[in-house]
Amino acid sequence: MIKKYIFITGGVVSSLGKGITAAALAAILEARELNVTIIKLDPYINIDPGTISPVQHGEVFVTEDGAETDLDLGHYERFIRTKMSRRNNFTTGQIYSDVLRKERCGDYLGATVQVIPHITNTIKDYIVEGGHGHDIVLVEIGGTVGDIESLPFLESIRQMAVEVGREHTLYIHLTLLPYIATSGEVKTKPTQHSVKELLSIGIQPDVLICRSNHSISNNERAKISLFCNVLEKAVISLKDVDSIYKIPVLLKAQGVDDYICKKLGLKCPEANLCEWERVIYQQANPVGEVTIGMVGKYIALPDAYRSVIEALKHAGLKNRLTVNIRLIDSEDIEIRGVKILKDLEAILIPGGFGYRGVEGKIMSAKYAREQKIPYLGICLGMQVALIEFARHVAGMQDANSTEFVSNCKYPVVALIKEWQDEAGNITKMRSKKSDLGGTMRLGSHLCHLVRDSIAQLLYGKITILERHRHRYEVNNMFLKELESAGLRVAGFSQDTNLVEIIEYPDHPWFIASQFHPEFNSTPRDSHPLFSGFIKSANNYQKSRNKKQKNRA
Ligand code: GLN
């Protein structure tokens, strides 16, 4: 089959949900038995988002092969079965650094190196390479049409139609139709301008997907069609929805996939969206609800914890429970105390970097352990639990991570280099500062679970593959002491014998992992650790209610 490219651009304003729309479209095409992948092009100069603050960029999504990528790749993996890799996301920074490297090597000897053709050719090469092995390649262009930064990307995708054939390419433009309450109508003018901008680059969109908080009338559809040169049936309305997982069904209902397939000459069966219909059904028919507290630093920015939040929702679907997520500022706990954790039915501490707010997280882990509230710790959430346990149960008063206090008395979390010699033997602690760039343990690693541990029973298998993004590890020097104080290590890394999961046998549900399970959770499957966590929150709620009833 000849490879087809579907390019997705965005206009009018940013944050329209281009990533989710691309992912939802890909989900429908996958349900038509097509072999799909999605590539995200980011117009910024950073090589990857790994060094950008979550405040600016949201979470960093880690792929199996250890790339630090845009959070949209998380949406892609939650909507389609194809796994993303470092080839599915590239930035202007990567393109320029590649071109400059080649220039120094003399690859362009004799030529003046320019945006066109050198940068645009490299962009096209990356797109082709990213789409290798797939029949349909959706390409999402970051930013908004009209930005200076995304011009080379737009120029490249324009050229691709000439090179691979217009009949093998399709352009989708996502826009906003603002609703003006005083006149009671949605406005089409910004969309017309945005399409005009695209046309000036040489791109005529085939499909317009119009975001709005109101449905568009036939009149408005006809107007958009006329002014933007797009068939009426290819003007698709995307009304705000309460769940992103409704979007595949919503788009299919307007026949967008039929139109795309016809336009690209694709012969494939109708989309069977029964799995997505099941997700919608589960969401609409919960049998109860639980309230989870997520203790972190970026409470006003849910995108900083996007995959964790989605994974909690997926576990809710699996357990048929609505999951209410309360984002709690760990610094607030330091000021006001753990009383603000009262009423929660479970506590989750996600990953994080830096000392700010860490003591509040340690206080939360202590509260969960002592009050026997279900606890799920992820990465830093595991490290703080371990520090807490060392300090308050194992009698190591000043226990800490060398990330926060480099010369603490009990460095129960530290860099491997600080407690291992080159041969891998445990040595005396020595200060060994390492660089902050390129020194993380990233991507999927095999982990062996300890038979009959809670984690092993949840996973239902012995060997698991989970993704990492951290620099610090549990310090094996203190392991024996911590274990004899009651800590159970439920999983070790296969290659390096590092602690991957801890749990407390005398607690109803206290599990913390060095890896990030949220990156492997999908709405159709959920993740065993998250499902178990939400189930335990429900059990906690039931037994608490029973106790309260008995007391009354
Ligand atoms: N800051 C910790 C480390 O580097 C934890 C990282 C994380 O939670 N992702 O090890």
pLDDT in tens, 97-148: 999 999 999 999 999 999 999 999 999 999 999 999 999 999 999 999 989 9
Atom of ligand 1 minimally distant from the CA of 516:
9
Say if 323 falls within a structural domain: yes
pLDDT at 434: 56
Say if 182 falls within a structural domain: no
21 CB neighbour count, 10 Å cutoff: 24
Span from the CA of 278 to the centroid of ligand 1 (angstroms):
36
Q: In terms of Cα–Cα distance, which of 414, 470, 464 is closest to 442?
A: 470
**Do 253 and 381 belong together in one domain?**
no
- Catalytic residue numbers? 379, 516, 518
Please spell the DSSP secondary structure of 194-233, one letter per residue.
HHHHHHHHT---SEEEEEESSPPPHHHHHHHHHHHT--GG
Is 403 a pocket residue for ligand 1 (Cβ < 6 Å)? yes
Say if 39 falls within a structural domain: yes
Cα–Cα distance for residue pair 517/533, rounded to 1 Å: 12
**Do 253 and 304 belong together in one domain?**
no
89 in Cβ contact with 57 (< 8 Å): no
Model confidence pLDDT, tens digit, residues 423-467:
767 777 766 565 555 578 999 999 999 999 999 999 999 999 999
Span from the CA of 354 to the centroid of ligand 1 (angstroms):
8
- Give 323's strand partners: 290
CATH number for 459: 3.40.50.880
Contacts of 183 (CB under 8 A, 6+ apart): none
Residue ranges, the chain, pLDDT below 50: none
**Do 131 and 264 belong together in one domain?**
yes
453 in Cβ contact with 357 (< 8 Å): no
**Do 41 and 162 belong together in one domain?**
yes
**Do 333 and 464 belong together in one domain?**
yes
Binding positions for UTP: 14, 187-192, 223
**Do 299 and 397 belong together in one domain?**
yes
**Do 250 and 374 belong together in one domain?**
no
**Do 251 and 292 belong together in one domain?**
no
Cα–Cα distance for residue pair 301/202, rounded to 1 Å: 37
**Do 265 and 389 belong together in one domain?**
no
Say if 314 falls within a structural domain: yes
- The pTM score is 0.94
Atom 9, ligand 1: which residue's CA is nearest? 351
Is 472 a pocket residue for ligand 1 (Cβ < 6 Å)? yes
Say if 230 falls within a structural domain: no
Atom 1, ligand 1: which residue's CA is nearest? 353
Task: Please say which residue of 278, 295, 329 terminates a domain.
Answer: 278
Q: How many structural domains does the chain have?
A: 2
Say if 322 falls within a structural domain: yes
Atom 6, ligand 1: which residue's CA is nearest? 470
pLDDT at 426: 73
Q: Which domain holds residue 430?
A: 286-543
Distance set, CA 10 to CA 172, 216, 302 (Å): 9, 19, 22
User: Strand ranges (DSSP E) for 494-549?
Assistant: 499-503, 510-513
The single residue listed with the structure tokens 């989309």 is 271
Q: In terms of Cα–Cα distance, which of 126, 206, 199, 200 is closest to 167?
A: 206
